[in-house]
Structure 1
Amino acid sequence: MSIHFTVSGLTRNLIHSLGLDHERAPRPLTQEQNLLLECYLAGQIPESAWSDYVFEAPELQRHVDARRARH
């Protein structure tokens, strides 16, 4: 038995699994994440702390990027 994949299919799956496909819309945030996002955008959370939050929940940065792209 053999399994065949196309390189483009594997690449697309890898990019998607790593969260690097920027075309997809960010997932909705929880109320707590929404509050964190608002505090960060208002300058109340330092970059060092924000990077810790983003490490735990990468979708936070996608929301920041999407929000900044709109303004």
Structure 2
Amino acid sequence: MSVHFTVSGLTRNLIHSLGLDHEQAPRPLTPEQSLLLDCYLAGQIPDSAWSDYVFEMPELERHAEVRRARGLA
């Protein structure tokens, strides 16, 4: 017997926020997401708006963390 289930976006976000996902590198960003990240890191997007974007696209925060860690922010 096998059990199949899908992980909803909310559950995926929870797993990510708890650090239980073991992705080595964040997924590549679309050109629009990359521009959004660049604008945020340049201080053109307030933190309150950024948190809304991150809620919708959690991979943005992973990319921001990687850029900060590399000193590229």
Instruction: Give yes or no for TM over 0.5.
Output: yes
Aligned equivalents of 1:68, 1:24: Cα separation in 2: 16
Question: What whole-Å deviation, never above 9, does each CA across 1:12-70 have from its counterpart, x for those lacking one?
Answer: xx99x822236520100001100000000000000000000000000000000000001
Higher fraction of helix: 1
Percent identity, please.
Answer: 71
1:40 is matched with: 40
Amino acid at match of 2:67: R
Structure having the higher Rg? 1
Unpaired segments of 5 or more residues in structure 1? Answer: 2-13
Unpaired segments of 5 or more residues in structure 2? Answer: 2-10
Pairing 1:52–2:49 present: no
2:27 is matched with: 27
Aligned residue pairs, count: 59
Q: TM-score, normalised by structure 2?
A: 0.70
Pairing 1:61–2:58 present: no
Distance verdict in 2 for CA 1:67–1:37, change over 3 Å? same
| Cα root mean square deviation, aligned | 2.5
Off by >4 Å, runs of 4+ in structure 1: none
2:15 is matched with: 18
